[in-house]
Amino acid sequence: MTFSIAGRCLRTGMLGAVVTTSSMGVGSRCPWARAGVGAALTQHRTDPRLGPVMLDRLKDGAAPETIMKELEQSDPDLKWRQLALLAADGRAAYFHGSKILSTKKGIVGKNCVAIGNIIRSTGVVDAMVATFEGCEDQPLPERLMRAIEAGQAAGGEWKQVKSAGLVVVHKESFPFVDLRVELSPRPLEELRYLWEIYQPSAELYVTRGVDPDSAPGAG
């Protein structure tokens, strides 16, 4: 009952992910990203521990496909999970556990990977990837937002989505963007609203953190 996409920007090196689902608080459980390393998605009877585990293995130099195989062999509960992983160099992989009996799909696209389960049709995942690939001129957070919106427009879930999250990393250890809608009847509309308000100040917030003497503003 979740659909999501992870992506990277070839121009800037940004990495990120966006997700929506019909339960609350998805942004704290499913999408993960680490600057210079990759972005990960873990959903369907979600185990939030798997996001950091996958990113740690990426940092160690393992390939996404290898990481999926390692987890499948070592974690007996992985049969309940749906995972996706995108490395900073563009390599990607996804995994569907055997206990996921609903409509599901995964696609590795150009600089992205998308997954979905308990969705109205596999076209939801197709739409996310096609939209992401079709707006390369846009900043990564905008591309991810357009992709998840396209997935919703293509049918989304069978249930009403109730939460959403967007996370993007760039050069620092902290996120460039980390926005969440914890519970709402229109989470993607609210996430779009938050992103459009946040976007003009995103670079400023980074400057305030790493070089406060040069940051404009009060004080």
Question: Does the reported pTM lie above 0.95?
Answer: yes
Residue 79 and residue 109: Cα distance in Å, rounded? 24
Quick: pLDDT tens for 42-62: 999 999 999 999 999 999 999
What is the pLDDT, as a whole number, of residue 217?
76
Residue 15: per-residue pLDDT: 99
Structure confidence at residue 1 as a pLDDT band (50, 70, 90)? confident
Examine the pLDDT at 177 and tell me if it is beyond 60. yes
Domains of the chain: 2-214 (3.60.20.10)
pLDDT of residue 96: 97
pLDDT (0 to 100) of residue 219: 55
Mean pLDDT estimate for the chain = 97
